[in-house]
Structure 1
Amino acid sequence: MKVTLLHYTPIYICSHAIRTCWQSFSKGDCGGEKDLELIDRVGNKFKHASTLEHLYYNFYIQGISRACLQELARHRIASLSVKSTRYTLKELKGEESFLPINAENIKRAKKYVVLMGESSGDSIVESKVESAESSIDSATNLAESIESKADSKLDSQIAKVDSASIHALENLRLILLENTSLDIAKYALIESYKTELTWSINARSLQNFLMLRSSKSALREIRHLALSIYEALPEEHKFIFLPYINEK
């Protein structure tokens, strides 16, 4: 997953909007400490959050799953322009088989699917493969071996799902090799298939997004996305959103 901040509204636009209400422009300092205090007091503490809508952020989000995209689309006060599978799904045609499941094929598959076991660039499936692949011939037996070596029940479940994602990716590749129409083939897409989008949102809506999606009860991937979006924000803007980072 990669989040890039493409553009954002300068902070003084928000303070100017607030000062418009009282015509207090002479008290401003063009986005300095006085203006920052005003934004925090009026927008956050006094809950006149409509003034924060003058701040807009444009992000380029890469490498999230279609499952995560569905969650993101529920935040309707935002604009999304998403990579079209109708025009780009043919990218799979040039790939070799993703089976059997081994370290090299897992690495190739990760270009197209989000593996749940990914952590610091690795996955539970990949970590289990190295010790199992030398003595395992079939992909089915390899998946069983991975599961048996998992450190916990959760790891076993994740390994099974990641293995299923890779098999589904291979099935989709085979469908495309039969020159199936992309409009038809896209119905075989799995939730873990990677996508990317340009996402634009105002500060008030972003506060709501961060409050809901930074929670530990949120889908793990969208929580990672929410925290990555917060980290991508300009340092001088983060005070607006810090109270909405949910650690519970």
Structure 2
Amino acid sequence: MKLAVNLLSSSPEPDRIVAAAARLCYSDVSAEELLGGLESEKIRGFLKHLRKSGHLSPFEHVSFTFAVDGISRVCSHQLVRHRLASYSQQSQRYVAMTGPDVVVPPSIRDEPGLKERFIELVAACHKAYGEFIEKGVPREDARYLLPHGWQTRLVMTMNARELHHFFRLRLCRRAQWEIRELARRMLALVRCEAPLLFDLAGPDCLVDGECGESNPCGRPYESMEELLSDETVF
């Protein structure tokens, strides 16, 4: 299967909710009243102030739920390191793995002869997987034969603060290519749903104007358009 990322749901009016929650900290009126008096430009300025001051706890009041199909187990292992999120992943214990369905890295796909050898080895692993199950080996044990590149599906939920952190790390050019492409697609989706919250989101070079890595790549992103168009095909 091809990589597919969809936004299943999000908090209603995320831009306005975050701005109202933040304003409540400095106001003697109710959140409902504050919510009613917020216009786009006022929200934009307030969110910019929150990011600049580091007052990011209001960003935690809104969340976004994604469906992801076609990433490898390599990628999902990286993904679940972001612990301020919730994940539900397809189980290899309960679901028979048909296929073979694997993510082929571009460095292998584009090298003559290597892709064919890669697919051949994966097919051998999958054939053995089926043979072991036919002989009575439980799926939870037979799955040990499957490679890390095997594709998976999952649903994940992150709040806006964690998404900003995720984008800082995973949209860096030095991030691993598969999770970087996942993050790029996620950013495009949340910018449509909450354009003010994610008006400025991404790696350090784009957000802060300088790299936070000890060994910079030397190719900083100059604009959001450049970042969102930097697709990795696999």
TM-score range, shorter chain: 0.7 to 0.9
Structure 2's unaligned 5+ residue stretches are: 204-218, 221-234
Kindly, what percent of the aligned residue pairs are identical? 27
TM-score, normalised via structure 1 length: 0.70
Query: In structure 1, what is the Cα distance between the partners aligned to 2:70 and 2:35?
Result: 45
Q: Which residue of 2 aligns with 1:124?
A: 109
Over alpha carbons, which structure has the higher Rg?
1
Over residues 201-230 of structure 1, what are the superposed CA-to-partner deviations in whole Å (9 max), with x where a residue is unaligned?
111111111111111211111011110111
1:160 Cα offset (Å): 4.5
Query: In structure 2, what is the Cα distance between the partners aligned to 1:161 and 1:200?
Result: 33
Query: In structure 2, what is the Cα distance between the partners aligned to 1:162 and 1:209?
Result: 32
Q: Which residue of 2 aligns with 1:217?
A: 174
- 1:1-248 to 2 correspondences below 5 Å: 1-9=3-11, 10-11=13-14, 12-23=16-27, 25=33, 29-30=37-38, 32-42=40-50, 44-89=51-96, 91-92=97-98, 109=100, 112-117=101-106, 124=109, 150=112, 160-235=117-192, 237-246=194-203, 248=220
- Is the 1:116–1:162 contact (alpha carbons within 8 Å) kept by the matching residues of 2? no
Over residues 26-82 of structure 1, what are the superposed CA-to-partner deviations in whole Å (9 max), with x where a residue is unaligned?
59644522123212222x121101111112111111111111010001001001011
Query: In structure 2, what is the Cα distance between the partners aligned to 1:51 and 1:240?
Result: 11
Compared CA separation, residues 88 and 46, structure 1 to 2 (3 A) = same
- Is the 1:64–1:195 contact (alpha carbons within 8 Å) kept by the matching residues of 2? yes
Aligned residues: 197
User: Which structure features the higher share of helix residues?
Assistant: 1
Amino acid at match of 1:174: E
1:158 Cα offset (Å): 5.8
Query: In structure 2, what is the Cα distance between the partners aligned to 1:236 and 1:64?
Result: 23
Compared CA separation, residues 207 and 240, structure 1 to 2 (3 A) = same
- Is the 1:65–1:195 contact (alpha carbons within 8 Å) kept by the matching residues of 2? yes
Q: Secondary structure at the match of 1:215?
A: coil
Query: In structure 1, what is the Cα distance between the partners aligned to 2:39 and 2:121?
Result: 52
Amino acid at match of 2:24: T
Taking only aligned residues, the RMSD between alpha carbons, in angstroms, comes to 2.6
Over residues 125-152 of structure 1, what are the superposed CA-to-partner deviations in whole Å (9 max), with x where a residue is unaligned?
7xxxxxxxxxxxxxxxxxxxxx6xx2xx
Q: Secondary structure at the match of 1:52?
A: helix
Amino acid at match of 1:113: V
Amino acid at match of 1:17: A
Amino acid at match of 2:18: C
Compared CA separation, residues 193 and 16, structure 1 to 2 (3 A) = same
TM-score, normalised via structure 2 length: 0.74
Query: In structure 2, what is the Cα distance between the partners aligned to 1:33 and 1:242?
Result: 12
Query: In structure 2, what is the Cα distance between the partners aligned to 1:14 and 1:163?
Result: 51
Q: Secondary structure at the match of 1:167?
A: helix
- Is the 2:23–2:34 contact (alpha carbons within 8 Å) kept by the matching residues of 1? no
Compared CA separation, residues 197 and 113, structure 1 to 2 (3 A) = same
Q: Secondary structure at the match of 2:154?
A: strand
